[in-house]
Amino acid sequence: MKVVDFLKKKKETLAQHQFDFIDLKDRIPPVLLDHWAEFINRANSIQIINWAREHQLLSADENGQNNRQVKTVETTPIVLPPQAQTLLAKLSAQLGEEIHVGEWFTVDQERINQFANVTEDQQWIHTDPVRAQQESPFKSTIAHGFLTLSLLPMLTDSIDASQSPYPGVRMTVNYGLNEVRFLYPVKAGSRVRASTKLRSVIPIKRGLEVVKEIRVQIEGTRRPACIAQTVIRLYF
């Protein structure tokens, strides 16, 4: 029996009962056993069926039309507290706008060395000014890209809780990054600053998720050092 036929025959049974993994495994041809782990990870019957459709293992139905029935999942509406609703309205009106420009900050060799010590990234392009002067195309040591990234909270004035731009927020969580690009090196002794644009704001349980685009500028240089999309979550 082909796997396709087997899955189609078992469709109704899988939808009603939890199947026997051993029985299913014994019926799978050896050539497909390498994919057994993926089947185990998708043990739910609906997931199995969706997986089969995704990999085109289930053909068209009797009418020649692809079976694309989607099971509707009911979700509970998110109810925000009044302060969160007010902030949501305010931030939504600022989408696409530049909402902050920070002060200039000098990235000197001492700070670069300290970052190298903490991260154990002692590449000479960062820590050896003499060699960098002789061999580097930049004729200077440069800051680690991750050093520039680590400065974003300070460059965006996000570390002073007494001056939070989000009134009423109980807790701010760094949720991650959507995208980061290091476009130009920051030479030792350069001054940098960050400008911020608001990209999106969406309600989440007990708060808001905010995506910002942060551009790190280098004084006297047209190209930015870094452009990053940061994601934070605000809890009320």
Yes or no: say if 149 and 143 are a contact pair by the CB < 8 Å rule: no
- Residue 73's contacts (CB-CB under 8 Å, 6 or more residues apart) are none
CATH architecture of 82-235: Roll (3.10)
> DSSP 3-state assignment of 125?
helix
Q: Which pLDDT value is given to residue 21?
A: 45
Query: Where does CATH 3.10.129.10 sit in the chain?
Result: 82-235
- The half-sphere exposure of 51 on its side-chain side, counting CA atoms within 13 A, is 16
Measured between alpha carbons, how far is 189 from 109 in angstroms, rounded to an integer?
7
Q: Which pLDDT value is given to residue 20?
A: 47
Q: Which pLDDT value is given to residue 11?
A: 58
- The half-sphere exposure of 69 on its side-chain side, counting CA atoms within 13 A, is 7
How far CA 165 is from CA of 66, 69, 102, 215, 230, in Å, comes to 50, 45, 13, 19, 16
Yes or no: say if 128 and 116 are a contact pair by the CB < 8 Å rule: no
Q: Which residues of the chain have pLDDT under 70?
A: 1-75, 161
Measured between alpha carbons, how far is 226 from 184 in angstroms, rounded to an integer?
7
